[in-house]
Chains A and B, each alone.
Chain A
Amino acid sequence: MSNAEQTLEQSSNASVENTEGKSVIDTPNAEDFIIHIDKANVYQGKNLILNQVSFTIKAGELVYIVGKTGSGKSNLLKLLYGDVPAVDGTVKIAGFDLRNIKSKNIQKLRRNLGIVFQDFQLLQDRSVYDNLNFIAKVTDWKDKNARKQRIEEVLALVGLATKGYKMPHQLSGGEQQRVCIARALMNNPKIILADEPTGNLDPETSYDIFSLFRDITQKGTSVLIATHDYLIINQIPSRVIKIENGKVLE
């Protein structure tokens, strides 16, 4: 068990409060928490974007973060995958304590998360298959056959079984987003962080992608989605965390 995991375990039985001071979750077992944020501030450079953020997410939960464009949803996710430093409060995710994380362990953290970026962040110089193969390699899938099998599995899961040979620019926006999801699923992460995963997609494709996320949570993976697509949230309802005026509300 890592130091971060031990620290997380020690914090069991803690009561987590939201910004209004209410206890939102009484937890008997902190190991159930994939994300545990308590009184953390989120900055962009030197500017405070979100004030006193507190919430938790359990294994297998589908949680939406909603808020206006520019409200700080993406920055909150950046905080969770180590692109924005955690300078105060408690920020724990997938067994990593981001307050005390060393810079070299940020890459390790990211390998343990599945991240779906709004702008895809696919490697444009290689095929879909090679994009996934790259992730398999960096997450220490040594066996070539096992890698191939896993890539085929995740491509089938996102409905791109026959598109592995294509280059990212040869795919539509929806297909590229599916590749991102496939990439996020490659290493069976405990949690997937999705930043506006359907920002540029048509409603039908958006629904398919959110359905896919819902299916993923049924296999025990938590999914945290930053979105402002209320229509989809109504179609696939789940827990919603709202960002408003620099505060996080449930």
Chain B
Amino acid sequence: MAAIQIEKIAKHRLASSVLSTIISVTLVLFIVGLLGIVLINAKRIADNVRENIGFEVMLMPDITEGQVSYIQQTLEKKPYVKSVKYVSKEQATQETIDLLGHDFRDIVGDVIPPSFQLKINANYTTMDSLQMIEKELNLMENISDVCYQKSYINNVNDNIHKIGIVLLVICGLLLIISFALINNTIRLYIYAKRFTIKSMLLVGAKRRTIYRPFITNSIVQGIIASVLAIALMVFILYMAYNRPSLEAIIDFSQPMYYAVLFGVMFALGILLNWLSTLFAVRKYIKMKIDKLYA
């Protein structure tokens, strides 16, 4: 009876050790997946910030409706223009009054001209491109002035560049940590089996005979962990998909990116498990028996 109980405990321990390995690898792969989503969407987030950079294109005060319409059509055809919004003289004046809290016309007169608010495509938000655009706009008829916040744009570009580098460094570090965690988890599992490996060696088992069950188990565990991690990722993405507020951050228009990410996660789960197991088993195969007890 006691022996049966001991056997049950041993089986339970083995099962829980396998389970903890799978859970650890699943969580690490999940983190890798999250990093993948961040990387996939990092450019979109950066573009989103850049495309909020706006040009204020001031028009002549006496411009006619026909001329406004012509300029609007011309601007909309420009490749660097993402959107054009016309702000009439009355609208702009009212907005300024609302902003200042009093009617400035009593002091300086009716000075605010009609204008266009231009949003620029992200690809044209470098300082050089913006200066070229400024020049081009200034050459157009009935445009009195072109304004944009140079220092703000410089700051945005600088910050996006810095954030990009920091993000890459964090991704790199997290990947290394992930690999180390998976490797460590598997090494612990193999460590528990070190005397079995040694016994197999002492009775003359070929190395490949010793490797085979460990490698097979590790690949199966890798597949299970990868599938679980991918299922978690799909769940997270599904939740995000149903929240319109996240649309600007997460790009759902390119499902192929996510398919590739899941493929990488699947391959990584198997590859890391396989490699870690291979190295760990090899270590104990080569280890002298005295060191097994150290």
By the criterion CB–CB under 8 Å, are B202 and A83 in contact?
A: yes
Q: Give the residues in chain A near B7, CB-CB below 8 Å.
A: 167, 169-170
Interface centre among B7, B202, B209, by most chain A C-beta atoms within 10 angstroms, is B202
Q: Give the residues in chain B near A108, CB-CB below 8 Å.
A: 204
Q: Give the residues in chain B near A109, CB-CB below 8 Å.
A: 204
Q: Which of A104, A121, A169, A170 is close to B203, meaning CB atoms less than 8 Å apart?
A: A121
**A 115-134 to B, binary, CB cutoff 8 A, 1 in contact else 0:** 10100011111000000001
By the criterion CB–CB under 8 Å, are A134 and B205 in contact?
A: yes
By the criterion CB–CB under 8 Å, are B209 and A137 in contact?
A: yes
Interface: B196 (CB within 8 A): yes
Q: Give the residues in chain A near B3, CB-CB below 8 Å.
A: 166-167, 169-170
Interface: B201 (CB within 8 A): yes
Q: Which of B10, B195, B202 is close to A110, meaning CB atoms less than 8 Å apart?
A: B202
Chain A contacts with B in 64-113, Cβ cutoff 8 A = 81, 83, 104, 107-113
What would 16 more interface pairs be, CB under 8 Å, given A121-B202, A121-B203, A138-B204? A83-B202, A104-B207, A107-B204, A107-B206, A109-B204, A117-B202, A121-B198, A121-B199, A123-B200, A125-B196, A134-B200, A134-B203, A139-B204, A167-B10, A169-B3, A170-B7
| CB of A84 to closest CB in B, whole Å | 10
Interface: B49 (CB within 8 A): no
Interface: A183 (CB within 8 A): yes
Interface: A135 (CB within 8 A): yes
| CB of B189 to closest CB in A, whole Å | 13
Given A123-B196, A124-B196, A125-B14, A183-B203 contact (CB < 8 Å): yes
**B 202-216 to A, binary, CB cutoff 8 A, 1 in contact else 0:** 111111010000000
Q: Which of B14, B199, B204 is close to A123, meaning CB atoms less than 8 Å apart?
A: B199
User: CA separation between A138 and B211, bound complex, in Å?
Assistant: 13
Query: What size tier do the contact residues of chain A reach?
Result: 20 to 34
Q: Give the residues in chain B near A183, CB-CB below 8 Å.
A: 203
Closest to A186 in B: B203
User: CA separation between A86 and B289, bound complex, in Å?
Assistant: 17
| CB of A173 to closest CB in B, whole Å | 14
Interface: B239 (CB within 8 A): no
Taking Cβ atoms with an 8 Å cutoff, the residues of A that contact B are: 81, 83, 104, 107-113, 115, 117, 121-125, 134-135, 137-139, 166-167, 169-170, 183
Interface: B108 (CB within 8 A): no
Taking Cβ atoms with an 8 Å cutoff, the residues of B that contact A are: 3, 6-7, 10, 14, 193, 195-196, 198-207, 209, 289
Q: Which of A83, A107, A112, A117 is close to B205, meaning CB atoms less than 8 Å apart?
A: A107
Q: Give the residues in chain B near A134, CB-CB below 8 Å.
A: 200, 203, 205
| CB of B111 to closest CB in A, whole Å | 88
By the criterion CB–CB under 8 Å, are B202 and A115 in contact?
A: yes
Q: Which of A81, A83, A122, A167 is close to B199, meaning CB atoms less than 8 Å apart?
A: A122
A-B contacts, 14 of them at CB < 8 A, read A104-B207, A107-B207, A109-B204, A111-B203, A113-B204, A121-B198, A121-B202, A121-B203, A123-B196, A123-B199, A125-B10, A134-B205, A139-B204, A170-B3
Q: Give the residues in chain B near A122, CB-CB below 8 Å.
A: 199
User: CA separation between A169 and B11, bound complex, in Å?
Assistant: 13
Closest to A109 in B: B204
By the criterion CB–CB under 8 Å, are B203 and A115 in contact?
A: yes
Q: Give the residues in chain B near A104, CB-CB below 8 Å.
A: 207
By the criterion CB–CB under 8 Å, are A138 and B289 in contact?
A: no
| CB of A80 to closest CB in B, whole Å | 13
By the criterion CB–CB under 8 Å, are A138 and B196 in contact?
A: no
| CB of A76 to closest CB in B, whole Å | 16
User: CA separation between A122 and B195, bound complex, in Å?
Assistant: 10
By the criterion CB–CB under 8 Å, are A110 and B204 in contact?
A: yes
User: CA separation between A67 and B206, bound complex, in Å?
Assistant: 33
User: CA separation between A79 and B289, bound complex, in Å?
Assistant: 14
| CB of A118 to closest CB in B, whole Å | 12
User: CA separation between A168 and B5, bound complex, in Å?
Assistant: 14
| CB of A174 to closest CB in B, whole Å | 16
